[in-house]
Amino acid sequence: MNNSSENKNSTPRLVGFIVVLAIGVAAAVAYQGGWFADAGANDNNTIDLANSQTVLPVNAQRICFVDSIEQTRSYTGTVRARRSSELAFESAGKINEVLVEDGQQVEAGQVIATMGTATLQAQQAATLAQLEQSKFLMNELDAGPRKQQIAASTAETAAAKSEYDNAKIRAKRRQELYKKNAISIEEFDQSKSELRTAKARWQATAERLAELTAGTREERLSAQQAAITQLQASAQEIEVAISKSNLIAPFSGTITRRYLDPGSIAQPSSPVCKLVEQSKLEAWVGLPVNVASEIKIGQQYTVQVLDASYDVTATAKIQELDTATRTQAVLFEFTPEAARTIVQGQLCRIQITIEVKTAGCWVPNSAITRGVRGLSSLMTLVADKDQPELFRVCRCDIEILKTDSNRMLVKGTISDDDLVIANGLHRVACGQLVSLAEATKAANAATSKAPNQ
């Protein structure tokens, strides 16, 4: 019975001891955390330097406002070949040979495929024969009539003249006989008719002789020359068509796909194969107009394809806005070495850094506290009036403008050169009296000397 009563009496004493111990520990923590300093600050704004060992040292940072920041963003584009062409014949026909395979490298001027030319060659032979015939005729016209033709025409003219003279004499005689009523009127009229016929024959032969003597007319020579020119143009057109029966590579590159095989009927709209200039690749990146305006032509940038980075050069800006994405395409050229490891159609990514006009100051992430309803604030330091070596803690509401990995750009009720507690915010409270840590004092001293150095 005595043991049980003693146990019952010791239990309240043990509980009381534990309570007193907990209160003492809490008081010590509160004292070290500055809670009593806040209460004392309300009654008295000064602290005796003799008790300075109770003042909490803090790490602070002097803020500096900036007018602009560098903003880096990533944009996605596509790797494209500078030149890519689907090669086709200009006219329809049957394909004789296709001399390339998928993936084959070809050089500029190399024959890729051939088409049958039997019909074209027959047309060419007929046209060339007509051309030769026209040239012979032109030579004949240019040389003029032969001497034998002129001599025969001269003799014919002389005979016609003689016949005309005889007819004129006969008509004169019959006219005298008719006046004497020796012949009838019919005989007299017949003599006059014979005279007119002989005169017309003589004039016709004389004009024919004059034409032969003058040579070929210029109009006939010009017409024949025009016929020759037309035949020459036709022959040249057929020659061009025959030459185009060979499909030639316009530039060096890689055959990425072959569409037709020998024996197929090629149409002008049906490609035979696709040729890509693999050695010269470009990155096509759509950028906002304001970002594209910052790109300098000829300047080097870095593009990432998969896990590799490549140096590229800005070569051109497409002066047209993509209506779907509202972006402007900018071209970046890869080096020939890079073109050996990447292929057309791959996605690429480029990071562009531009300067953005934004007023604010950078502070460490550890200097910002999160309040209720999403508000944020900083703990700033204000020098104590009576003890300049010490500072009062004040709370300033801020707005976060930009977040980096370890710092934030903010603005609010803060001024340039304000001191902001950089870390350990859980150790201080508003109105608390604190001092600057030795590291902070050294940093401020170095900052103040920097302009004079």
Which pLDDT tens digit goes with each residue over 75-108?
999 999 988 899 999 888 889 999 999 989 999 9
So what's the pLDDT on residue 330?
94
Percent of the chain with pLDDT over 70: 83
So what's the pLDDT on residue 6?
44
If asked whether residues 426 and 280 sit together in one domain, one would say no
Residue 50 has pLDDT above 60, yes or no: no
Single out the residue in 311, 339, 357 at which a domain terminates.
357
Q: How confident is the model at residue 299 (pLDDT cuts 50, 70, 90)?
A: very high
Which domain range does residue 367 map to?
46-67+358-452
268 is a domain residue = yes
Single out the residue in 357, 375, 405 at which a domain terminates.
357
Single out the residue in 357, 387, 411 at which a domain terminates.
357
**Separation of CA 124 from chain center:** 44
- Across the range 236-240, mean pLDDT stands at 88
- Across the range 380-408, mean pLDDT stands at 88
Residue 254 has pLDDT above 80, yes or no: yes
Radius of gyration of the chain (CA): 56
So what's the pLDDT on residue 317?
93
So what's the pLDDT on residue 283?
93
So what's the pLDDT on residue 302?
92
- Across the range 184-190, mean pLDDT stands at 84
If asked whether residues 235 and 130 sit together in one domain, one would say yes
If asked whether residues 106 and 249 sit together in one domain, one would say yes
40 is a domain residue = no
- Across the range 167-186, mean pLDDT stands at 84
403 is a domain residue = yes
Report yes or no: 329 and 321 within 8 Å, Cβ to Cβ: no
- Among 115-119, 253-257, 327-331, top mean pLDDT goes to 327-331
So what's the pLDDT on residue 374?
67
Which pLDDT tens digit goes with each residue over 18-33?
655 655 545 444 444 4
Mean pLDDT of the chain: 81
If asked whether residues 144 and 234 sit together in one domain, one would say yes
Nearest CA to 91 out of 262, 266, 283 is that of: 266
pTM for the structure as a whole? 0.52
Residue 453 has pLDDT above 50, yes or no: no
d(CA 244, CA 316): 34
If asked whether residues 212 and 132 sit together in one domain, one would say yes
Q: How confident is the model at residue 1 (pLDDT cuts 50, 70, 90)?
A: very low
So what's the pLDDT on residue 452?
40
Structure tokens at 330: 């900018």
If asked whether residues 362 and 394 sit together in one domain, one would say yes
- At 184, which CATH number? 1.10.287.470
So what's the pLDDT on residue 233?
93
Residue 190 has pLDDT above 90, yes or no: no
Which pLDDT tens digit goes with each residue over 309-335?
999 999 999 999 988 889 999 999 999
41 is a domain residue = no
Structure tokens at 296: 């300098």
So what's the pLDDT on residue 13?
59
If asked whether residues 234 and 128 sit together in one domain, one would say yes
- Alpha helix segments (H runs only) across 293-390: 336-339
Structure tokens at 56: 């909490």
So what's the pLDDT on residue 385?
86
362 is a domain residue = yes
102 is a domain residue = yes
Percent of the chain with pLDDT over 90: 23
Residue 449 has pLDDT above 80, yes or no: no
Name 345's Cβ contacts closer than 8 Å, sequence gap at least 6: 78, 79, 80
Count other C-beta atoms under 10 Å from residue 407's C-beta.
15
Burial of 107 (0-12, 13-18, 19+ CB in 10 A): exposed
Q: Which residues of 221-244 are buried (b: 16+ CB within 10 A; e: fewer)?
A: eeebeebbeebeebbeebeebeeb
If asked whether residues 215 and 318 sit together in one domain, one would say no
260 is a domain residue = yes
- At 260, which CATH number? 2.40.50.100
Residue 361 has pLDDT above 80, yes or no: yes
- Across the range 133-140, mean pLDDT stands at 84
If asked whether residues 133 and 219 sit together in one domain, one would say yes
Total tally of structural domains belonging to the chain: 5
159 is a domain residue = yes
- At 404, which CATH number? 2.40.420.20
If asked whether residues 203 and 283 sit together in one domain, one would say no
Name 113's Cβ contacts closer than 8 Å, sequence gap at least 6: 89, 95, 97, 98, 99, 100, 246, 247, 260, 272, 273
Residue type, 276: V
- Across the range 145-156, mean pLDDT stands at 77
If asked whether residues 127 and 218 sit together in one domain, one would say yes
- Across the range 210-217, mean pLDDT stands at 70
Lowest mean pLDDT among 140-144, 217-221, 344-348, 405-409: 140-144
The SS3 call for residue 15 is helix
If asked whether residues 266 and 283 sit together in one domain, one would say no
